[in-house]
Structure 1
Amino acid sequence: MHFDILGPLKVTTDQRDYTPSAAKTRQVLALLLLRSGQTLSLDSIVEELWGENPPRSAVTTSQTYIYQLRKAFAGQSWGDSDSQVISTVSPGYVLRTEGSRIDVREFERLVAEGQTLLSLGQATQSVEALNRALALWRGPALSNVDKGPLLGAYVAHLEERRIAALELRVSAEMERGNHRGVIADLRKLVAAHPYNEWFHSQLIAALNMAGRRVEALQAYQTIRLLLSEELGLDPSPDLQRIHHEVLSGSVEMSSRAVGVGSHA
């Protein structure tokens, strides 16, 4: 069975689509996937679905959603023939995913592989692993699922992990000397994340090392004005340092400008 989270929630086998059509049932399944292999308490389901003001029927209704999921997954099992996809384990339920493919697990595995390869100086192989990881994203995580407090926090975490993977890929591209090739991606990234100073610093560094010094200075002025006019802030010390290096005519930027940074 395939469980896809990095985009619209999708549950499939080779023969059939098991994705729930009902919004609340889909939300419960997403929560079970968040805790796959672990016990999800009934209280957590109620909190996710109704927050601090659940109806009197919340417990019974939650149990109905579990029943609907079990019915949808009828005939699917792992391990011994009597095991269910969703097992009742006090004080709630466990989604069993042994032998299943979950895209977020594959994403995390490939990001870890990319980080390890980069630390070993294998930047090209690192880029390849990170490209495969980022290709798993089909859009915003769980985009077809309503989100309460638990899923909302989980989706925010996944987006941070995606940004970290993007940063790591930029670092790997810079490490292997692909300064010109990474400029277009960096322009897209600073447009999508205008307050991410790290992306701006890499764009400035890449432009400078590609021999496009004027554009590098223009890129610095863009982020400087944005921070000043929108937030009343000065650029970070790292951004200011890179700016000074561009002004001084340094083509070989220091490792702090293009390094891996903190992408854990």
Structure 2
Amino acid sequence: MDIDVLGALAVRENGIPVTPTAPKPRQVLALLALQADQVVPVSSLVEELWGQRPPRSARTTLQTYILQLRELISTALEHDTKDAGPRTAKDVLVTTPGGYRLHTAGGTSDVREFEKLAGTGYRAMDAEDFAGAARQLRDALALWSGSALADIQAGPQLEMEIRRLEETRLCALYQRIEADLRLGRHRELLGELTVLVSRYPTHENLHGQFMLALHRSGRRGEALDVYQRLRQSLVRDLGLEPSVALRRLQRSILMVGPEPVRDVPAVAAERLSRAG
């Protein structure tokens, strides 16, 4: 079974989609897919579907949704060409004491691949292999085609999982940008960081990276403007001042003039200096 959740939900058995169209069975499959090869308690599935006040028929209705999913899996298994012997839908969507488990049988999972690549990237950062880190983290982020489970009507359990996944995505993005900054790619990052600080107006790390990229590009005034806009957002929205680290970065930009613009030819730079 192959599972994609880093964007729209897509679950395939033998390459055949087994994702239902009805909203609640989709929720059930999404939660099972996110915790593939692990038991998902019935109580978690009930809470996902109906919150803290489920109807009396909740467990019976959940069983109906499980049966609907198994019907889709059964159809896909008709095309099974593996030599390990015939499988049934109950072998794929397994009933366990107190819950259900989606058995992937070694299939692919974009979440697992993302975590593997991101972990390799983080280890490369620790080893100061910034080119390797940027490459691995870029490959990890490329697995995302949109927000996690973008086409699912999420309940409390899925909302928590989606927030967790989005945080891991943001962490990998921050580390990839950090690797690119270490490689001197500050000008290449300006467009991307412009979008990111607009999307995350109180994210200090991204704003710090934007300030640094602007400063290294000889745009000192704009770097300081970024700090002021962040401070206004933090005070207005959270009642907080910028962190010590960010204030230290602002002071260093204030005290040190803009770094030289390296792509200006030496002769032209000398003329500009004389003209000043």
TM-score, scaled to structure 1: 0.89
Task: Kindly provide the CA deviation profile for residues 68-95 of structure 1, in whole angstroms up to 9, marking residues without a partner as x.
Answer: 1111011537865346111111112111
Percent identity, aligned pairs only? 42
CA distance in 2, matches of 1:115, 1:250: 32
Q: Give the 3-state SS of the residue equivalent to 2:170 in structure 1.
A: helix
Correspondence list, 1:109-124, <5 A: 109-124=116-131
Q: 2:206 maps to what in 1?
A: 199
CA distance in 1, matches of 2:50, 2:140: 34
| Counterparts in 2 of 1:50 and 1:228: CA distance versus 1, 3 Å | closer
User: Partner amino acid for 1:180?
Assistant: R
Q: 1:261 maps to what in 2?
A: none
Q: Give the 3-state SS of the residue equivalent to 2:16 in structure 1.
A: coil
CA distance in 2, matches of 1:33, 1:128: 28
Correspondence list, 1:92-241, <5 A: 92-241=99-248
The CA deviation at 1:132 is 1.2
CA distance in 1, matches of 2:152, 2:235: 37
The CA deviation at 1:98 is 2.2
Q: 2:18 maps to what in 1?
A: 18
CA distance in 1, matches of 2:173, 2:151: 24
The CA deviation at 1:2 is 2.1
Q: 2:34 maps to what in 1?
A: 34
CA distance in 1, matches of 2:239, 2:69: 51
The CA deviation at 1:28 is 0.5
Q: Give the 3-state SS of the residue equivalent to 2:8 in structure 1.
A: coil
| Counterparts in 2 of 1:118 and 1:203: CA distance versus 1, 3 Å | same
Q: 1:46 maps to what in 2?
A: 46
Q: Give the 3-state SS of the residue equivalent to 1:147 in structure 2.
A: coil
1:81 aligns with 2:90: no
User: Partner amino acid for 2:68?
Assistant: Q
Tell me, which stretches of 5 or more residues in structure 2 are unaligned?
260-276
Task: Kindly provide the CA deviation profile for residues 94-132 of structure 1, in whole angstroms up to 9, marking residues without a partner as x.
Answer: 110122111111111111011111212221121111111
CA distance in 1, matches of 2:201, 2:235: 13
CA distance in 1, matches of 2:256, 2:41: 60
Q: Give the 3-state SS of the residue equivalent to 1:186 in structure 2.
A: helix
Q: Give the 3-state SS of the residue equivalent to 1:11 in structure 2.
A: strand
Query: Are the aligned partners of 2:19 and 2:29 in contact in 1 as well (CA < 8 Å)?
Result: no
CA distance in 1, matches of 2:85, 2:101: 16
Superposition RMSD in Å: 1.9
CA distance in 2, matches of 1:184, 1:28: 39
Tell me, which stretches of 5 or more residues in structure 1 are unaligned?
253-264
User: Partner amino acid for 1:90?
Assistant: P
The CA deviation at 1:161 is 0.6
Q: 1:71 maps to what in 2?
A: 71
CA distance in 2, matches of 1:49, 1:214: 51
| Counterparts in 2 of 1:233 and 1:91: CA distance versus 1, 3 Å | closer
User: Partner amino acid for 2:11?
Assistant: V
TM-score, scaled to structure 2: 0.85
| Runs of 4+ more than 6 Å apart | none
CA distance in 2, matches of 1:250, 1:160: 35
Q: 2:59 maps to what in 1?
A: 59
Query: Are the aligned partners of 2:11 and 2:17 in contact in 1 as well (CA < 8 Å)?
Result: yes
Q: Give the 3-state SS of the residue equivalent to 1:73 in structure 2.
A: helix
CA distance in 2, matches of 1:14, 1:192: 39
